Chain A
């Protein structure tokens, strides 16, 4: 009896809630979007963060998420192809990467990408390009500037973009290539400086979300609608996540 209770309480005892899988670059903005949404809805919202690739494989393995905010559009499209979505993927932002370092590191990222060759830079943190979209962009950009081969020995890989940010935030890596949305978070702003890496150096990173097939689809649609509202958009913008230019075509 006791065991049965312990076993099943987790799934049965809880009330109505929505579980969102979100790419790690949304770590800070999503918290604010969700707390804004809570002011107008009874629904309990839980957000689980990870690299988009890891969340994608969890969803494929049956993880019970209602919405998936990916850091790219490729993973949501793949899910749709597999028939696991309730809807088509919708772009919600264009991701940008920045060069970031601590103010007290003695390294000025304002000098541009060449700072990576500075001998004072012992470790450079990027997200794992195998499953983190921001890591893919970082690799493309480093290749564009002809730096990829030269800095191989210095690279450390974060499991997702917020672990990458943590590596530089703690100063264990002197420089990191992280998401603009994280560089703009108060915790990161306070400690460091960033330089926006030109968008021409990497493939454009359109970010999409998708509603997953499940029991709480209606509630998920409501939240999805909310993320398009003016107040929510304002929050995304504060964190450097602006909508792709072709937004209007899609909202039709």
Chain B
């Protein structure tokens, strides 16, 4: 029996794209949350954390309404970019970015908050710009936090199921990620194929989480001492 690697590769492509976008969005958002004195900060933090507790079907349902071709965002994307956001890979990326947002922002925010503010002040006093301070002072001092954010977002996207089920439609090569393929194969009574995908995900998830614990121990130690 030959196994289909398509869904696994698609899962990794989705997780990579999602993580890359989350990193770009997460850094400014997390640094703002870490340093702002904005009164409604708690509201923004709550919104960022919502995907942690909301059932994926709730997110999927609203995304279907918003991203669908009658929804405001869906229509705009179709008209301006000729991009379909439901039942397409691009749609899954948008959904995953939302769904994994807290897994990137939380570690980053903790990373920013863990840096003594005097370092930032010293940089400003020496006449360095905010961008320079971010890239030369802040980020290099929070590498474990960045790695944790990357790894957790990646792993969480791999584990996505409910949202993809609602807005994906299980199209091979497009939205049929590994978790969905397992569901489909079980229904088709192909337990062998389902087992193959499940085992790969099991192994990959284990390896990823092991790496998180390893990285945290190894890199945080010298900082703590």
Q: Which residues of A contact B (CB under 8 A)?
A: 2-3, 6-11, 14, 19, 24, 27, 46, 48-50, 58, 61-64, 160, 162-163, 165-166, 169, 185, 187-188
Chosen A-B contacts, 8 in total, with CB atoms closer than 8 Å, are A6-B93, A46-B171, A49-B170, A58-B169, A162-B187, A162-B189, A166-B187, A185-B189
CA separation between A64 and B175, bound complex, in Å?
A: 11
- Which residues of A have CB within 8 Å of B156? none
Residues of B in contact (CB 8 Å), total 29
- Which residues of B have CB within 8 Å of A162? 187-189
Q: What residue in chain B is nearest A160 (Cβ atoms)?
A: B187
Does A10 lie within 8 Å of B184, measured CB to CB? no
- Which residues of B have CB within 8 Å of A7? 17, 89-90, 93
Could you say which of B68, B170, B171, B174 contacts A61, with CB atoms under 8 Å apart? Answer: B68
Q: What residue in chain B is nearest A14 (Cβ atoms)?
A: B173
Minimum C-beta distance from A198 to chain B (A): 27
**4 extra interface residue pairs, beta carbon distance < 8 Å, beyond A7-B17, A48-B170:** A7-B90, A62-B69, A162-B188, A163-B187
Q: Which residues of B contact A (CB under 8 A)?
A: 10, 13, 16-17, 20-21, 64, 68-69, 74, 84, 86-90, 93, 169-174, 176, 184, 186-189
Minimum C-beta distance from A50 to chain B (A): 7
Known pairs A19-B171, A48-B170; A63 contacts B17 (CB<8 A)? no
Could you say which of A10, A24, A49, A62 contacts B89, with CB atoms under 8 Å apart? Answer: A10
Does A62 lie within 8 Å of B86, measured CB to CB? yes
Known pairs A3-B21, A48-B171; A166 contacts B189 (CB<8 A)? yes
How many inter-chain residue pairs (CB < 8 Å) link A and B? Answer: 79
Known pairs A163-B187, A166-B189; A61 contacts B172 (CB<8 A)? no
- Which residues of A have CB within 8 Å of B187? 24, 27, 49, 160, 162-163, 165-166
Q: What residue in chain B is nearest A2 (Cβ atoms)?
A: B20
CA separation between A2 and B20, bound complex, in Å?
A: 9
Q: What residue in chain A is nearest B174 (Cβ atoms)?
A: A10
Could you say which of B68, B88, B186, B188 contacts A10, with CB atoms under 8 Å apart? Answer: B88
Minimum C-beta distance from B122 to chain A (A): 34
Does B188 lie within 8 Å of A6, measured CB to CB? no
- Which residues of A have CB within 8 Å of B188? 27, 49, 162
CA separation between A68 and B113, bound complex, in Å?
A: 54
Does B89 lie within 8 Å of A11, measured CB to CB? yes
Does A11 lie within 8 Å of B174, measured CB to CB? yes
Does B87 lie within 8 Å of A62, measured CB to CB? yes
Does B20 lie within 8 Å of A3, measured CB to CB? yes
Does A64 lie within 8 Å of B69, measured CB to CB? no
- Which residues of B have CB within 8 Å of A160? 187
CA separation between A188 and B190, bound complex, in Å?
A: 12
- Which residues of B have CB within 8 Å of A163? 187
- Which residues of A have CB within 8 Å of B88? 10-11, 64
- Which residues of B have CB within 8 Å of A63? 86-87, 169, 171
Q: What residue in chain A is nearest B69 (Cβ atoms)?
A: A62
Does A46 lie within 8 Å of B69, measured CB to CB? no
Minimum C-beta distance from B188 to chain A (A): 5
Does B173 lie within 8 Å of A46, measured CB to CB? yes
CA separation between A9 and B93, bound complex, in Å?
A: 13
Minimum C-beta distance from A164 to chain B (A): 9
Q: What residue in chain B is nearest A163 (Cβ atoms)?
A: B187
CA separation between A187 and B192, bound complex, in Å?
A: 13
- Which residues of B have CB within 8 Å of A50? 170
- Which residues of A have CB within 8 Å of B21? 3
Does A62 lie within 8 Å of B84, measured CB to CB? yes
Does A64 lie within 8 Å of B84, measured CB to CB? yes
CA separation between A169 and B190, bound complex, in Å?
A: 12
Q: What residue in chain A is nearest B71 (Cβ atoms)?
A: A61
Could you say which of A2, A8, A58, A187 contacts B87, with CB atoms under 8 Å apart? Answer: A58
Does A62 lie within 8 Å of B74, measured CB to CB? yes
- Which residues of A have CB within 8 Å of B64? 61
- Which residues of B have CB within 8 Å of A166? 186-187, 189
Minimum C-beta distance from B172 to chain A (A): 5
Does A64 lie within 8 Å of B184, measured CB to CB? no
- Which residues of A have CB within 8 Å of B87? 58, 61-64
Does B172 lie within 8 Å of A6, measured CB to CB? no
CA separation between A9 and B171, bound complex, in Å?
A: 15
CA separation between A8 and B21, bound complex, in Å?
A: 14
- Which residues of B have CB within 8 Å of A8? 90
Question: Closest 9 CB pairs between A and B?
Answer: A10-B89, A6-B17, A63-B87, A62-B69, A162-B187, A187-B189, A46-B172, A61-B68, A163-B187
